[in-house]
Structure 1
């Protein structure tokens, strides 16, 4: 199985954990970003001064009023004392607020609420900033009493009076997150990030957390309603080629050799095998169903093939039923059983049922310890779970079973690359030469294998060897002209190399012309539109929505919803606060 779509190879079990950090892409209005191999390439940032925090309204400050009455008697002692000077409404309100602050610090939150309420009722309506402070302080007291509803209501009032009140925004964001009102929470924390110039790590972490929760919530519901869809030929071919011992695929090859171009009176299953060999995938499920309903001799194999196509078409329930029935057969060829276990295990992994998935792989190893496919596909899933040492060990096992199987060599290089990249996070070090050498050896061993060249090209780009990278991308596309994902990465190379956003966009649009089902292309284009500024944000959202409609897993869908929701939040915040979002393309020029 191919390593990861972000590295030129799409797989049905792909995991969105390899996705770009959401706040850095979806929210980073003030941070020019472009994507490259291994994660993110950051353009030089133009720092923005962090907004000053307003004073803490809950500290016990001295009263601003100097309205203490003076009791001064005349020298003769016969003049009566002067009466105390009467406090103005503003002064009375401040006095109540200060009293409330003392109660708050003493943990007497009900009394504090009464004082803040008196302050609100006494303060003149025109003194909006003071009123906003009183409402926010009362919200803080309600927060201590865990009255989320009143926290939100008082923060609403504070923000009506002072829309850029950062403490009220954060308090409302926290309360909305607790209440499950994630869209409002996201808009509030987005506003905070923008007002702070994206310089506060704590705010950014909050944004990432809210985005993740919101994306997961939306994806869980949307994934249930998604429609089955046949992926591109390149996608299916890549998946099928990740097996060396698949009995169905091997049967299709054998049938093609036997018939040698002559048509015969053959069964529905054999016709399905012919379609498989010819990469005519649309009718395979119906042909297998016909074979199964007739209860013919190839029922088990037909069910395995149909389950595979269901899996590729995102019909998970149907795929699981077919794999279960294959595995329930009393008499079953060893390779058929192992293949069904691998595919059911992969389906479990796609559903994030990791224990069940790994159990299937372990069973497959016990049944056929020399089967390369078990180690290769388990290695892939270990990569997705960021278990790089386990992945490398599995892939080394796979290579030991068959030294000429290109996908295992390439995926091992990818696992080593990812491990090295994780160890270099935050260190600003060049890509280790050993990573480049590993990919180069794959290219030398398998010069006609397009994925090897595509990964090598991305590694070269990451190392700053842009001209070499572009040449390798050209060779990869010559070998696989329908590899739209490689074309997307070539577009990103142009951005990394030449900082030319327009050229990158043009190349990626060609990938969509090549394969309209290339979800990754829409995702990257949407992210590039975000960088262009607020005028392109609507288009970015449309592109993210298109990617969502093509996404293959719930986790991938959640990631895409996060990007879309982040863009929507920016638009709403900019409109509500009257903020002009910067044009990142101009900043990056």
Structure 2
């Protein structure tokens, strides 16, 4: 028996059309992936309080979650009024839906279907409760990685910054933002990239940064070496362009 997962539609070029079978995995494998995801994100402490644990009995893993609209998380709405607090069952149901979309996004990303992967990650974000900061940080990081592949560097930098707001100092998100800022170019972008690369390296423990490969870490060291010269060159070019423009106005 296969596990029916939330399915989404997206419009993109014919070469990106994926058979719906791609979204369906064997029941045991998919349940294991989602349960591991749920346990992983709840075992780590977040900024809102101590670590929480997920019960191993998750009955909704064996069927598609009921198509109900999510209740708002605890906090204030746009009008300043108090919002309904999610029950534990509702939070777990939304976490399951979010994890399902995110796992689909990972598969699409790993097979270079970046537009479809972005859609999946955005759906995952829309289902993830606001109170689950680590989960939302992970999704924002996935969005940043996808936007980099699509060369939407400005959007990638914004997504990585949102991940860092939820999980400050996270080396993996810092690395993504550094790559996005480097891709943006310009003096400001390169300075920001350099600062992020330095923070990535400073966060290494025994030469290891969580989520950043050994080869990527070596590349970070190289970028820290040569980026200052590039920043200087770009700065001089930008200043020169401004001066020339002012000269043209005076003429």
Corresponding position of 1:498: none
Tell me: CA distance 1:185–1:62, structure 2 relative to 1, closer, same or farther (3 Å).
same
Give CA deviations for 1:527-556 in whole Å, capped at 9, x if unaligned: xxxxxxxxxxxxxxxxxxxxxxxxxxxxxx
Return the structure number with greater relative CO, CA threshold 8 A, min gap 6.
Answer: 1
Corresponding position of 1:98: 103
Q: CA RMSD in A?
A: 2.9
Corresponding position of 1:141: 146
Of 190-199 and 137-146, more deviation after overlay is shown by 190-199
Q: Shift in Å at residue 173 of structure 1?
A: 0.9
Rg larger for: 1
Corresponding position of 1:153: 158
Question: Where does 1:76-87 land on structure 2 (aligned, <5 Å)?
Answer: none
Question: Where does 1:186-585 land on structure 2 (aligned, <5 Å)?
Answer: 186-196=194-204, 199=207, 200-218=217-235
Give CA deviations for 1:480-501 in whole Å, capped at 9, x if unaligned: xxxxxxxxxxxxxxxxxxxxxx
- Structure 2 SS opposite 1:68: helix
CA distance in 2, matches of 1:187, 1:216: 17
Q: Shift in Å at residue 201 of structure 1?
A: 3.1
Give CA deviations for 1:68-108 in whole Å, capped at 9, x if unaligned: 348xxxxxxxxxxxxxx986112211111111111212222
Corresponding position of 2:26: none
Corresponding position of 1:68: 61
- Structure 1 SS opposite 2:225: helix
CA distance in 1, matches of 2:183, 2:192: 11
TM (normalized to structure 1)? 0.24
How many residue pairs align between the two structures? Answer: 151
Corresponding position of 1:185: 193
Structure 2, unaligned runs of 5 or more: 1-29, 39-57, 64-88, 208-216, 242-251
Paired residues of 1:135 and 1:155 also in contact (CA < 8 A)? yes
CA distance in 2, matches of 1:108, 1:201: 28
Paired residues of 1:177 and 1:210 also in contact (CA < 8 A)? no
Q: Shift in Å at residue 216 of structure 1?
A: 2.8
CA distance in 1, matches of 2:100, 2:132: 15
Tell me: CA distance 1:221–1:69, structure 2 relative to 1, closer, same or farther (3 Å).
closer
Given candidates 169, 172, 175, the residue that maps to 1:170 is 175
- Structure 2 SS opposite 1:62: helix
Paired residues of 1:198 and 1:204 also in contact (CA < 8 A)? no
Give CA deviations for 1:181-200 in whole Å, capped at 9, x if unaligned: 11111111111011015944
TM (normalized to structure 2)? 0.53
Paired residues of 1:139 and 1:155 also in contact (CA < 8 A)? yes
Question: Where does 1:47-62 land on structure 2 (aligned, <5 Å)?
Answer: 62=33
Pairing 1:114–2:131 present:
no
Of 144-153 and 213-222, more deviation after overlay is shown by 213-222
CA distance in 2, matches of 1:198, 1:215: 32
CA distance in 2, matches of 1:137, 1:209: 28
Tell me: CA distance 1:101–1:219, structure 2 relative to 1, closer, same or farther (3 Å).
same
Paired residues of 1:173 and 1:188 also in contact (CA < 8 A)? yes
Tell me: CA distance 1:106–1:208, structure 2 relative to 1, closer, same or farther (3 Å).
same
Structure 1, unaligned runs of 5 or more: 1-59, 71-84, 225-589
